[in-house]
Homo-oligomer: A and B are copies of this chain.
């Protein structure tokens, strides 16, 4: 990332000395991704100043590389005429992603101001559901008829304006149905007189515009593709999703999984301003407060036992904490397994058995260790045994909760990753306090 750092320094220096022309030159030569990264580190007023120095084309590329927060701040400062001009120059899929981020009113104005053809293309893409192949596909592709020769196909590719964005040559029949694919490098190595029909791959992996973007990413990753064609029910070619967009999807979905699991919004970034995340963070903290109060109320049931034997309070959090790591370990692996497509319905029992076995064995190991330590510490044999038993049982509960809660969420079409530690550890907190304090209360006469 040195590239970005160096560019950032140069830009700041040129801004301070107000060398506008030289700055414009530097920005035009730089990679859009570097410009986008540099912009986000500047104060908002300077962002607009710098952005306005970009050519329309470069401005479009930079917008595409920009994170949502910086983008929103920037477009708020631009007027609709400026923005529509920039969007017109962008590929329709990238333009759609920017328009999608705009406040509704601004989006409508901008779409009105854009040239009709591009505006309609963008609106068509925006009609597909969020996070589907339709949303991220590029409607530009290069396709030829199956009866063409390699020479004719090469000629077609040379003339196609969109060839710069293309990785494969798609092959269609008389009815525009997708019937094959030819990698460009194959086109180079083939004899010019060969009919395309003979060198095409017939088995084309394709998706529909409604396919979830995560599924698209899984397919591209699994089959090592550079792009996947998007077809309608009649197998007519609508567009392609390219590998660079797939990488963005994979990064985005990984961030979403990690962060939701950590009780944070899936799209939060480390550089978001505090006010942009305050509400979302607070909501999770309040949910956590509610679950913590639930756990506390279980303790409340046993207040008199604690009054009688305060040592119970000392060991109490250990049972909860161990339940916490148990559920978190299991749920982490299960949530990730679902995301990677490993955790299918056919393996649920196998995974549940594995987790139960692990919960029982590691639980028993921890239980014995803890009971021994507790005995050495407090010298109360029965209490130590109760602690060990409660701890072991809680690890078994953790295995079940950690496996089934993410799966249940998935069955209800919710994101398994919201089975965050906040939610799942509630089960083991409640069960852990209940079993430890409950057993102790039952046997309280023998403990004193």
Residues of A within 8 A of B (CB): 1, 5, 31, 33, 41, 65, 154, 157-158, 163-164, 166-167, 184-189, 218, 220-224, 226, 243-244, 246-248, 250-251, 254-255, 257-259, 261-264, 268-274, 277-278, 281-282, 284-286, 288-289, 291-293, 295-297, 299-300, 303-304, 306-307, 310-318, 320-322, 324-326, 328-329, 331-337, 340-344, 346-347, 350-351, 354, 357-358, 361-362, 365-366, 369-370, 373, 395, 421-422, 429, 433
Contact = CB atoms under 8 A, between A and B. Distances in A.
29 contacts: A1-B218, A5-B346, A163-B189, A167-B226, A184-B184, A187-B188, A243-B243, A255-B336, A261-B262, A261-B332, A262-B328, A262-B332, A270-B336, A270-B343, A271-B350, A274-B357, A282-B366, A288-B321, A288-B325, A289-B366, A295-B321, A296-B314, A296-B318, A297-B314, A303-B313, A304-B310, A313-B313, A324-B421, A325-B422
Contact of A246 (B247, B254, B258, B286): B247
A207 B1 CA distance: 12
Question: What is the predominant secondary structure among interface residues of chain A facing chain B?
Answer: helix
Number of copies: 2
B362 A188 contact: no
A258 B329 CA distance: 10
Contacts of A300: 314
Contacts of A307: 307, 310
A255 to B, nearest CB: 6
Given A189-B157, A269-B342, A273-B354, A299 B285 contact: no
Nearest to A40: B342
B250 A344 contact: no
Nearest to A360: B274
B332 A274 contact: no
